[in-house]
Structure 1
Amino acid sequence: MNRGKPVTREPQINPQSVSFKPTDLIIPESLQEMFPEQVDLFKNLQDKEKQLDLLVNRKLLDLQDYQNNNINGVMEDSDKNEILRIFIYNISENQPWQLAKQSEDQSEEAKAIAAGSAQADPSWTLRIEGRFLNDEAADNASRKKFSSFLSSISVELFKGATKEKLDANNIIEWHDELQQIKSEIEREEQQFDGLDIKRVGSSIPGNPTEEVSCQILIQPKMYPIKLSILSKDLVELLGTNEITQHDCFVKLFNYIQVNDLFQFDQDKNLQQQQNSILIKSDDALLKIFQLEKFNVPQMLDIISTRLLKPVEPIKLNYTVNTLTNSTLGDMIIDLKINSDLLNKSSAGGANKSVSDLINELMNNQANSIEVNKLNENISLTLQLLNYNKIKYDFYKKFSEDPVKFLQKINDKNHEFLKIICSDSVGYNTNEYIDEEIFRKSEYYKDNIISEQVNLLLSSGRL
């Protein structure tokens, strides 16, 4: 049987993400007055970024729509299904009990030869293999191999009841590299029917120190790509737990249209109407979107970022058992695969190219990392800009009238001290709390309330 070569990777540690307050990402109005052209340019870039995100999402939906049309309505719940059976088991080699049994069956001369030769270390091999339950011969050159129906396999090895790492290479991963393999011939050469993971040692189930356990993640391929629905209310509305992003939008759009929830502004031109069409939420949409009114771009953004997520892989827990020669048959899982769907997706041509393109767009980790770095740099720059603006205001006021400015700072510090030392504060001349102050609207100005809340949060009072 053709065995795939697993790729062993060290656990990846993501760099620490920088935490920001929402106010760190906003340019203050005072800076807008000082640099109106630069601030306007920055805001225009932000608007263009939103339009670009919307355009990318729309094009992705168009690709999925084109893909659905090519499939001609073939669904996973149709009658033309085949069973992909996956076997997970281990094989034991050179275990002490195996060597003892071999020694009993050997002659005296063979025992003497074995005693003089180097004895191999005990080992075990974990195997993950599969094939379809059909009449197709195993040696058929055109037969699709096991890995061609999977996007990835991940195996993590643990030892003992404390789930410690088995060794430095305890994480083994295989991914269908869509970007690295250029041609279909190269892709076929890389496919395999089984994945082998071999380690030295023994595993005794139930033993707190000798037991080796595995967490196995298997991600099947899906055409078109389906996503899990996070909102229970959306599940009730659509009647399914998994759906493509395109179908989700189309079904919600039809629901809104049937229930006459669109609001149009007839006074605006066509281009303005497209950007100002509002959707009035009924009870069902209000539970899903948490908005009284929203437009189509907002709907697309919420669907892609808050309502849908990638389908969870198949998670399996397996315990290696070296007390027997083989555990074949102990763990078997069956996956229902639509044969027409797979034949069309793997036959090459336009639909396969679209599927690969969608996978690359959704799973491009390099671009995601680069975009996150750019967003982090922008956030740090804005934070530094706000900090420098505070310094600028301080030195500017200090240079205009040092005595008055320092006196104002002293009064503020005195005021903050009273806030910390009491549950409430008033701004009267005798330095005592006057409850009459709280009845006036001037007390509840945004800047004053913000200062007091920030101070109480910093001091641990809230």
Structure 2
Amino acid sequence: MSNLSGGFPSRNVRGGGPVPAGSTAVAGENGKVPLTASKQTNPTPTTQPTDTYIPTHLSELVPELKSYEQLKESEKRVDVFLARKRIDLQQSVSQWNNSKSGIVTSHNKNDVKYLRIFVSNIAENQPWQDENNDIQNASWTMRVEGRLLDAQGVQDSTRPKFSSFLQAIAVDFKKPKEDDDDENNEDSKGEGGPKTENQDVDMDEPKNESLIGLSLPMQMPGNPNDNNIQEEKPKSDIADAVEWHFDPINPVDFDGLDIKRNGSENVECTLTIQLKGVTGERLEFSPELGSLIGLSQGSLHEAVYSLYKYILINGLFTSGDNNLRNSANGSTESTTGEKTVVKLDPSLAKLIRQRPVPGSDEPLPTTLRLSEILKLVNIHVSPIRSIKVDYTVRVDKASTYGDLVFDVEVPNFTKQPKDEDEVKREGLSLLSDFNKLTTDLKPQLQELETRNAALLLQLNASAKKYQFFNELSKNPVSVLQEYIASSSNALKVLSGDEGFNEDTVRRSQFYKDNEQMLFESLGVLLSNGRM
């Protein structure tokens, strides 16, 4: 033992000698295992260098080390990002597995098509068409039809009909301003459909087009037997109303809706169209919110997330709590230290001005809590409104076909929505691909880390050589003297010729006074494999 410790005494100290590696400690009478009898653990073998420390003074000598440190910081950020994404993906898959079965819908532009709607009318037996004709025979026919803008032909039996996109449609005819006399009203169907008495419809359309009309009975506001009218129309404005609602029990498919009436004067009306699929999670955003996030419609989640991205990109998060409302309810920062206060810029201030604050004289705030974003968005969203178009039935022209045409967005029914099981499979497949890619890249990354560690060791060795020769060039005499003294001391340590008084080494003061010398001695022994 004295040879290994540079002259330390070899007597056994009180408490017994060390237990050989691999032996089992035995408890004493009191049931406790002696501290000196604990099992020793062999060092873990390694085949690559582990010393990758770079001295700070090398950054001035090697400018590229600053770039290396930046690369290490970027690597840490990438590792954190990938770890977070993996956790998010695992949580999403777990939520899909625990959620109820359902349908996952999407509102991407690829899942949207356009429905082109035509509103027109024709005039028949008008006085300007035949002066000898009786004015009582004058009539007009209003047509509302729609076609999906796609590549399918008109005669294709699988082509979706106009009615398949509608939940309801209504036409409100207003009273004439000068003549309030009652007119004999008559409903009709499109081509190919049965016609009631006194009907004679001849549209300016090819006969082979499938325009299925409907028999729509006249619905007056005061008719107690009418159950189709959802809202009571003002008697002072509405003279006649025609409505159709989708019946899931007895669905009717049609491409066009014809309404025929007697009359020789222009009639103003309002067309209201309620599309299918607009009463769910799809919402309409206010102009103030829409101009800020760049969306006019979407889900509540899309609105909140888009507004959060706007705040994040523009750097509106702040740690100040000035002018915060309800500041006594809690702190402005979470327990994790993240900023939860938003500074209001002019665009966000427009949203705040829309908030109803009845009877309050408080000035507009300049900051807002992040937790209040959802409440703010809820004020600026509403259900998608019905499509309303004002139209004038003109009897001074034979046909107004093409005068009023507009397009509306409709869901793409040909693209079936993904069921939840398919989404789960896609999530599991994505997670599996992520794990497989990580496993495949792990050996390559390990090899790069080994090469990097070897290069760092060479750099440290070169740095030590540079430091020695640099000092030698500045002051050769003192450096050589210090080198000879250090080498002589190392020789004594390795040969065990340096002796110490046994009574002296038993005192703690000896180790305090000779800390530097003992540190160097231990370094010599470790570097030469003697310990």
Interval containing the TM-score (normalised by the shorter chain): 0.3 to 0.5
Q: TM-score, normalised by structure 1?
A: 0.41
Q: TM-score, normalised by structure 2?
A: 0.37
